[in-house]
Chain A
Amino acid sequence: RKEVEQDPGPFNVPEGATVAFNCTYSNSASQSFFWYRQDCRKEPKLLMSVYSSGNEDGRFTAQLNRASQYISLLIRDSKLSDSATYLCVVNMGNYGQNFVFGPGTRLSVLP
């Protein structure tokens, strides 16, 4: 089993749609969780951290279920500019040096 797994995608959705991405991780001792977006041929950029109680940033909502070792990202009212690859990242170490990346899920928002 891979350490971090994500929906394989790609997701092709119309503008205005709501889309959800799922991510599972193998290490129950993992400490922190993040969603990044990566545009084609660019570096990953932090989208949001994921907190135990769930958190929201505008149209984006992240949730964490530690019991199921599951993280989700919900995007509401999709924009064309949301088209990117979304990376689930899990920090499995206590001292910040064990960030494990999922393979990513490609999203294309269509006009």
Chain B
Amino acid sequence: SQTIHQWPATLVQPVGSPLSLECTVEGTSNPNLYWYRQAAGRGLQLLFYSVGIGQISSEVPQNLSASRPQDRQFILSSKKLLLSDSGFYLCAWSDTRSSYNSPLHFGNGTRLTVT
């Protein structure tokens, strides 16, 4: 069965520090991968998605970036965090082989607090 791992679970970082969140998927190949952010009390905002290695689409211009160095690895990064980057970051995957009815499957999320 497929599983998705995301770490760390919680993170407290000072303003201006770098960020690296990692996500890996097991049990499937060539998944679509996504990074979402959820601010406190708000809905989910799509940040990046990837349909293949090295292919990244950005939905919201900001100081974050994403990379997909391997088929089942997705990394979210920042060179300098802002206070507004605080939130709940969620990695997700969907199966490209099951047509458009394939749902999103989420990792456990990383709760980031920028101080």
The answer to whether B107 touches A43, judged by C-beta atoms less than 8 angstroms apart, is yes
The answer to whether B109 touches A46, judged by C-beta atoms less than 8 angstroms apart, is no
User: Is residue B113 within 8 Å, beta carbon to beta carbon, of the partner chain?
Assistant: no
A43 to B44, CA, bound (A): 10
CB neighbours (8 Å) of A89 from chain B are 103-104
A45 to B109, CA, bound (A): 12
A97 to B51, CA, bound (A): 8
The answer to whether B109 touches A43, judged by C-beta atoms less than 8 angstroms apart, is yes
The answer to whether A104 touches B94, judged by C-beta atoms less than 8 angstroms apart, is no
Number of A positions contacting B (CB below 8 A): 23
CB neighbours (8 Å) of B49 from chain A are 97
Inter-chain contact total with CB atoms closer than 8 Å: 59
The answer to whether B106 touches A45, judged by C-beta atoms less than 8 angstroms apart, is yes
A65 to B16, CA, bound (A): 48
Chain B 82-105 interface residues, beta-carbon cutoff 8 Å to A:
88, 90, 94-96, 100-105
The answer to whether A44 touches B106, judged by C-beta atoms less than 8 angstroms apart, is yes
CB neighbours (8 Å) of B32 from chain A are 95-97
Closest to B51 in A: A97
Known: A41-B111, A44-B44, A103-B43. A95 touches B51 (CB 8 A): yes
CB neighbours (8 Å) of A49 from chain B are 101, 103
The answer to whether A96 touches B43, judged by C-beta atoms less than 8 angstroms apart, is no
User: Is residue B57 within 8 Å, beta carbon to beta carbon, of the partner chain?
Assistant: yes
The answer to whether B44 touches A101, judged by C-beta atoms less than 8 angstroms apart, is yes
A94 to B94, CA, bound (A): 13
**Chain A 29-61 interface mask (CB, 8 Å, partner B; 1/0):** 001101000000111111001000000000000
24 CB contacts below 8 A, A to B, read A32-B100, A32-B103, A34-B103, A42-B108, A43-B90, A43-B106, A43-B107, A43-B108, A44-B44, A46-B103, A87-B43, A87-B44, A89-B103, A89-B104, A95-B32, A96-B95, A96-B96, A96-B100, A97-B34, A97-B51, A97-B57, A97-B94, A99-B34, A103-B42
Supplied contacts A91-B100, A99-B46, 4 more A-B pairs, CB within 8 Å: A43-B108, A45-B106, A87-B43, A96-B95
